[in-house]
């Protein structure tokens, strides 16, 4: 998929449908292999090797798997923060204490999410992160990320900017989701790198 649009929200909706359909075609074996390769690739990042606090997320459905990566970071002694969705689509944060510390939470008619079951630290907790691992559906050659459209991570990035925090921003994707161009809007912000099962690509 080389060129996937230059306009805004209507184009984003079309692109999201295409990308989600491609993910839905992945087999369970392909998902397992991709998650394992993604963890190995991400753990080799210098940014993660230096990090003391990492804001991440628990993958759901056919998203690139993150649990192996979260457990490996925790085994290194990294403080891993995970999001909890608030009613206004903003994100609160809690500390990851292993898979048993997660609770399955359904927000209205949305997909059920795995969220930290312990103490909530507040939306500003993300500003302490050295690295923020972002979900997405695609990223282009400029580092512009296409998310699912809920706006939660737009709020996170805006919060980091207001706080003067500058963590490394890294999106986790499948290989085919690194594309030439994604639709963007004025509030969109680029990431510094994308990790896929086969490579790491950095952006200026």
Model pLDDT for residues 74-100, shown as the tens digit of each residue: 999 999 999 999 999 999 999 999 999
Across the range 16-30, mean pLDDT stands at: 92
Burial class (CB in 10 A: 0-12, 13-18, 19+), 109: exposed
Q: Is 150 annotated as a binding residue?
A: yes
| Mean pLDDT across the chain | 90
- Highest mean pLDDT among 7-11, 147-151, 176-180 belongs to 176-180
Asked if residue 118 belongs to a known ligand binding site, the reply is: no
Q: What is the share, in percent, of the chain residues with pLDDT greater than 90?
A: 74
Q: Is 148 annotated as a binding residue?
A: yes
The C-alpha atoms of residue 60 and residue 111 are separated, in whole angstroms, by: 8
Residue 33 has pLDDT above 70, yes or no: yes
For residues 73-86, one letter each, b for 16 or more C-beta atoms within 10 angstroms of the residue's C-beta and e for the rest, the string is: bbeeebbbbbbbbe
Look at residue 2 in the predicted model and tell me its pLDDT: 39
Annotated binding residue at 122?
A: no
pLDDT score at 16: 86
d(CA 61, CA 53): 26
Q: Domain 9-202 has what CATH class?
A: alpha beta
**Can you give the pLDDT at residue 8?**
64
What pLDDT score does 62 carry?
A: 93
Query: Does the pLDDT value for residue 6 go beyond 50?
Result: no
- pLDDT > 50? residue 3: no
Annotated binding residue 15: yes
| 155 in a labelled binding site | no
Q: Is 153 annotated as a binding residue?
A: yes
63 marked as binding residue:
yes
Q: Is 147 annotated as a binding residue?
A: yes
- 110 among annotated binding-site residues: no
Burial class (CB in 10 A: 0-12, 13-18, 19+), 99: exposed
The better pLDDT of the pair 107, 174 is held by 174
133 has a pLDDT exceeding 70? yes
Which residue ranges make up each domain of the chain? 9-202
Residue 4 has pLDDT above 50, yes or no: no
Q: pTM of the predicted model, to two decimals?
A: 0.90
The reply to whether 14 sits in an annotated binding site is: yes
């Amino acid at each position: 998929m080389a060129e996937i649009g230059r306009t805004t929200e209507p184009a984003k909706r079309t692109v999201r449908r295409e990308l989600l359909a491609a993910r839905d075609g992945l087999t369970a074996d392909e998902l397992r292999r991709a998650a394992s390769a993604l963890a190995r690739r991400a753990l080799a990042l210098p940014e993660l090797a230096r990090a003391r606090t990492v804001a991440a997320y628990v993958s759901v459905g056919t998203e690139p798997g993150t649990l192996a990566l979260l457990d490996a970071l925790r085994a290194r002694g990294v403080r891993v923060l995970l999001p909890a969705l608030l009613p206004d689509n903003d994100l609160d944060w809690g500390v990851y204490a292993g898979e048993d510390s997660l609770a399955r939470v359904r927000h209205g008619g949305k997909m059920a999410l795995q969220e930290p079951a312990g103490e909530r630290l507040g939306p500003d907790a993300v500003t302490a992160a050295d690295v923020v691992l972002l979900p997405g559906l695609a990223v282009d050659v400029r580092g512009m990320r296409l998310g699912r459209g809920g706006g939660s991570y737009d709020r996170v990035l805006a919060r980091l900017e207001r706080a003067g925090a500058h963590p490394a921003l890294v999106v986790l994707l499948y290989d085919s989701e690194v594309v030439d161009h994604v639709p963007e809007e004025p509030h969109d912000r680029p990431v510094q790198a994308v990790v896929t099962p086969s490579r790491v690509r950095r952006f200026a």
